[in-house]
Structure 1
Amino acid sequence: MDSVNISLPCGFSVKYKDIFYNNKEFPCPVCKTHYLTAQECLNMTRNRMVIAQKSFELKKKQYKYFITELSAFYDYKSHSEYYIDFTYNQFKNEIDVRREEIKVLLNKKIDNYYDELLKKVDKEKESNLKEFNEKIKDLDHTTKQIESLKIDDILCVHTKLNLYNNSKKILGNGMTLAIKMKDLLSQTKIGLTDGIEDIEIKSLFGELYLKEETNFIFNQNEIDDDSRAEATIQLVINDFSKLKNGKNASINSKHCTIRNFQWSINLKLNDDVNKKSCFGFFLYCYNIDKSHKFPVDADFKLSLLDRFDTKKDLTRSIKYLYDRETGYGYPSFVEVDKILDQKNGYYDAKNDSITLKATIKAEIIHKI
């Protein structure tokens, strides 16, 4: 996207990267005789068309990439059971290792509980296999839609824009579907908590838990996906009561791309200066493209959400300049006891979950 030619109001043109990263009014980089804003240029009809076409091409390329990744699982449509079996067998191997570590302490009880866990894993595996086979039909339908896409040059500009935008939505849905199918083949939806040395077998062995869920919220008015200036990462931590007692528990969200950098949030169990159990909350930044270099300036808010009143969210705002791949935040964001206190509204006792959010705005330190 950075190399796309963008027309200026004065008739000259520049590269997309020369204007997009300016969030304030700036002098024309070519004629120097007038001032302009990035949004003013990007809203010009010709530029909207050029950007829409390029964005569509990039989205289609991304879709093909995710399909290729899915296709790395040879003949996955016919051998889905094999791959999911393999993934879940790897997970079972983790359970085996855990069993051997503590077998000297409680051999008989361990074996009984181990059998119960495998039954639950097999049940979840069958559920995932059924879900995957249903998604195969959806992917075939989406692929047919994409193959039939055709945008005629004789159409008017606004009709083309609508077609490009609708086509991008279809590609986006297809990418999401392919990612979910890849995850079903290669990942489990359940994990195993850390155990502690105790005669209570569940605490000793560890319990199956539902893994965390990551959601991304984007500004729909922004034009390019990977170059977006802002986004929100929302992380739902399930089975929280099982995780809070784990040693050195650390939970990460999936990565979200902002300003062509990858961002994720991390929740880490620590002890504060008073030896009270608390969670640290951090925002991590990673470079994914050598053409986009640090530093990148981030203005972000880290929040523990209140279930009933958004005004009561526990929120802390930070401005930080990331000059390398690292995380920044609060080692002692909130005490575990404060999360569990029902008066605060953070902990969903019915679903045994909490929800965290990071609202991020980023700007690359960029010279014209």
Structure 2
Amino acid sequence: MDDTNIILSCGFTSKFKDIAYNKAKFICPVCQTHYITAEECFYMTRNKLVILKRSVELKKKDFLIDIKKIEANNENSKYYMDLCYKNLTNKIDIRREELKKEINQKIDEHYFTLLEQVDSIKQEKLAEYETMYEKTKSLKKELENCKIEDKNIIDQIDMNKNLKSKIEEGKKLLQSIEDLFKQPYYLFKEIYLVIDVKKYFGELLFRESESEIYTDNLDDNDFNRDKATIKLKIFNFKTVKEAFSKNSKKCTLRNINWSIEARSYKEKSGKIYLAIFLSYDSAEKLKELAIQVEATICLLHPFNSNLDLIRKFDHIYYHDEKGWGYRNFVEINEIMENKLGYYDHETDCITIQANLKVEIPQRIIR
């Protein structure tokens, strides 16, 4: 875009870069006889068309480059789709095995508890048996040693009545002993439950896009676009939190690409922080320029926007800088604390947002 020819009100032409990077009125860079503004130059119908056509050419070029990548992989689309969902499938497989292990463990725990109860009952009944058996032995001995014939009739009658009563009690005792070994004194009651597998196994949740761009002023001239919101989600955060690096989608403002760069940062003390930077990839364009940017960086709370963690900066970018931001935005351990709640347990992610306003690049000599 910088080398695009722009017609001036005096009839001459100049390069886009010689017009665009000026805020106020400036003297015509060609004829040097009058003052002009970038706005009035770009507002001319012909220049609108020229700038729009050039923008279309550049976007078309990028589109054709991107579609070549897609076309190159078209025949292997199934392979790449399987590869994309491999991690998800693996997680489901792992959860299946975990749940089986958990359920089997619970089943085994209850199984052994029931067996211990049965053993306890058996010991209790064996003790009862030993007591009753000793009683039957004592009665048997008494019966064997009982002599009634040498007694008088009255005594014999009383003794026989007594023996009859003891024998009947003995028979009941023997029956009780027999009953101890016939069948258990307890029944096993089976309980049939309808288990909500979905509740315990898990379910598929819609996964939002990792990165989104929101712009307020969609102008035909990309150079006029100065405000945007960039959002970046870092998924699988619980796993990757101590070592990760992630970039958002690129957003074009003032013909320069901007993005969020988030990564983990470990200090010498061992503490690990979330580092967030607002980066650009058009350093070549800024060799003779500087750009002032106002930015608000937020770590969003998943449920309450009043709890968002916010940092703001106003910075001038030069061509020798890769980005600007905070290498210790917040400690990772603080993110994971339930009280703060920046970590979304349901989706296993954190969300970073940058609201930025980019001023017109200026030719500033440091």
TM-score of the aligned structures, taking structure 1 as reference length: 0.54
The answer as to 2:325 corresponding to 1:329 is yes
2:39 corresponding residue in structure 1: 39
Q: For residues 205-240 of structure 1, what are the alpha-carbon distances to aligned partners after superposition, in whole Å with 9 as ceiling and x for unaligned?
A: xxxxx7971112335344344895554321122343
Q: Percent identity?
A: 36
Structure 1: distance between partners of 2:262 and 2:80: 31
The answer as to 2:318 corresponding to 1:304 is no
Give the 3-state SS of the residue equivalent to 2:281 in structure 1: strand
Q: Which runs of 5+ in 1 are unaligned?
A: 93-112, 121-209
Structure 2: distance between partners of 1:45 and 1:37: 15
1:61 corresponds to which letter in structure 2? K
1:282 corresponds to which letter in structure 2? F
Give the 3-state SS of the residue equivalent to 1:220 in structure 2: coil
Q: 1:358 aligns with which of 335, 349, 354?
A: 354
Q: 2:335 aligns with which of 334, 339, 355?
A: 339
The answer as to 2:50 corresponding to 1:50 is yes
Assess, with a 3 A threshold, how the Cα gap between structure 1 residues 306 and 320 changes in structure 2: closer, same or farther: farther
2:5 corresponds to which letter in structure 1? N
CA contact (8 A) 2:288 2:363 kept: no
Q: For residues 121-172 of structure 1, what are the alpha-carbon distances to aligned partners after superposition, in whole Å with 9 as ceiling and x for unaligned?
A: xxxxxxxxxxxxxxxxxxxxxxxxxxxxxxxxxxxxxxxxxxxxxxxxxxxx
Give the 3-state SS of the residue equivalent to 2:55 in structure 1: helix
TM-score of the aligned structures, taking structure 2 as reference length: 0.54
Assess, with a 3 A threshold, how the Cα gap between structure 1 residues 29 and 295 changes in structure 2: closer, same or farther: closer
1:323 corresponds to which letter in structure 2? H
Give the 3-state SS of the residue equivalent to 1:351 in structure 2: coil
Structure 1: distance between partners of 2:24 and 2:245: 39
Assess, with a 3 A threshold, how the Cα gap between structure 1 residues 341 and 66 changes in structure 2: closer, same or farther: same
Structure 1: distance between partners of 2:39 and 2:229: 21
Give the 3-state SS of the residue equivalent to 1:237 in structure 2: strand
1:243 corresponding residue in structure 2: 240
The answer as to 2:7 corresponding to 1:7 is yes
Counterparts of 1:227-266 in structure 2 under 5 Å?
Answer: 229-244=226-241, 246=242, 248-259=243-254, 261-266=256-261
Structure 1: distance between partners of 2:259 and 2:352: 12
Displacement of 1:260: 5.0
1:116 corresponds to which letter in structure 2? D
CA contact (8 A) 1:279 1:336 kept: yes
Structure 1: distance between partners of 2:63 and 2:266: 44
Q: 1:80 aligns with which of 77, 84, 103?
A: 77
Q: Which runs of 5+ in 2 are unaligned?
A: 98-206
2:315 corresponding residue in structure 1: 319
Displacement of 1:277: 3.9
Assess, with a 3 A threshold, how the Cα gap between structure 1 residues 212 and 330 changes in structure 2: closer, same or farther: farther
Assess, with a 3 A threshold, how the Cα gap between structure 1 residues 269 and 60 changes in structure 2: closer, same or farther: closer
Displacement of 1:294: 6.2
Assess, with a 3 A threshold, how the Cα gap between structure 1 residues 272 and 69 changes in structure 2: closer, same or farther: closer
Structure 1: distance between partners of 2:289 and 2:39: 23
Structure 1: distance between partners of 2:328 and 2:7: 49
Q: Please, which moves more after superposition, 20-29 or 307-316?
A: 307-316
Structure 2: distance between partners of 1:115 and 1:217: 34
Structure 2: distance between partners of 1:342 and 1:115: 26
The answer as to 2:118 corresponding to 1:116 is no
2:137 corresponding residue in structure 1: none
2:327 corresponds to which letter in structure 1? P
Assess, with a 3 A threshold, how the Cα gap between structure 1 residues 235 and 229 changes in structure 2: closer, same or farther: same
Displacement of 1:333: 0.9
Assess, with a 3 A threshold, how the Cα gap between structure 1 residues 57 and 279 changes in structure 2: closer, same or farther: closer
Displacement of 1:314: 0.8
CA contact (8 A) 1:298 1:322 kept: no
Assess, with a 3 A threshold, how the Cα gap between structure 1 residues 329 and 212 changes in structure 2: closer, same or farther: farther
Which has the larger share of helix?
2
Structure 1: distance between partners of 2:267 and 2:251: 30
1:28 corresponds to which letter in structure 2? C
Question: Whose radius of gyration is greater, 1 or 2?
Answer: 2
Give the 3-state SS of the residue equivalent to 1:324 in structure 2: coil
2:93 corresponds to which letter in structure 1? E
Assess, with a 3 A threshold, how the Cα gap between structure 1 residues 255 and 342 changes in structure 2: closer, same or farther: same
CA contact (8 A) 2:229 2:355 kept: yes
Q: For residues 310-353 of structure 1, what are the alpha-carbon distances to aligned partners after superposition, in whole Å with 9 as ceiling and x for unaligned?
A: 79551221414333363332121113344345665644444343
User: How many residues of Structure 1 are paired with residues of Structure 2 in the alignment?
Assistant: 251
Assess, with a 3 A threshold, how the Cα gap between structure 1 residues 273 and 65 changes in structure 2: closer, same or farther: closer
Assess, with a 3 A threshold, how the Cα gap between structure 1 residues 253 and 276 changes in structure 2: closer, same or farther: same
Structure 1: distance between partners of 2:8 and 2:307: 43
Assess, with a 3 A threshold, how the Cα gap between structure 1 residues 256 and 6 changes in structure 2: closer, same or farther: same
Structure 2: distance between partners of 1:238 and 1:114: 14
1:57 corresponds to which letter in structure 2? E
1:17 corresponding residue in structure 2: 17
1:324 corresponds to which letter in structure 2? D
